[in-house]
Amino acid sequence: MSMTDLLHAEDIKKAVGAFTAVDSFDHKRFFQMVGLKKKSPEDVKKVFHILDKDKSGFIEEEELGFILKGFSPDARDLSVKETKMLLAAGDKDGDGKIGADATFESLVQSW
Ligand SMILES: [Ca+2]
């Protein structure tokens, strides 16, 4: 399963291309642009598992930093600042990572 099985390559390209400048990443717009907001809960879960590189069941801070690469291999890494902001937006219980349960799905909707 790869990201382009779930999302349109065109949309990914546009979304990644919109945030090439460091510290320009806007997760709400990004998830909207890649089309993730319109996806079914099952598909959102599949996307989560692609982003969870080490299959730990969580997207940890380190994996969040590489989140754009999960969509497009030649995308940039997030800056430390962007990673922290994304984690703060998604980590409701403050454990420093994002879980695979309904949390991720509701996050994509609200992000
Ligand atoms: Ca992980």
pLDDT in tens, 53-69: 999 999 999 999 999 99
Residue 26: is it exposed, middle or buried by C-beta count within 10 angstroms (0-12/13-18/19+)? Answer: middle
Q: Domain of 42?
A: 3-108
State the pLDDT at residue 34: 95
Distance 23 CA to ligand 1 centre (A): 23
C-alpha of residue 59 to centroid of ligand 1, in Å: 4
Residues whose CB falls within 8 Å of the CB of residue 93, separated by 6 or more in sequence, listed in order? none
26 assigned ligand-binding residue: no
Number of domains in the chain: 1
CA of 10 relative to ligand 1 center, distance in Å = 27
37: which residues sit within 8 A by CB, 6+ positions away?
31, 108, 109
Q: What is the CATH number of the domain that holds 101?
A: 1.10.238.10
The predicted structure's pLDDT at residue 100: 73
User: What is the pTM for the complete model shown?
Assistant: 0.89
SS3 content of the chain, % helix, strand, coil (to 5): 60, 5, 35
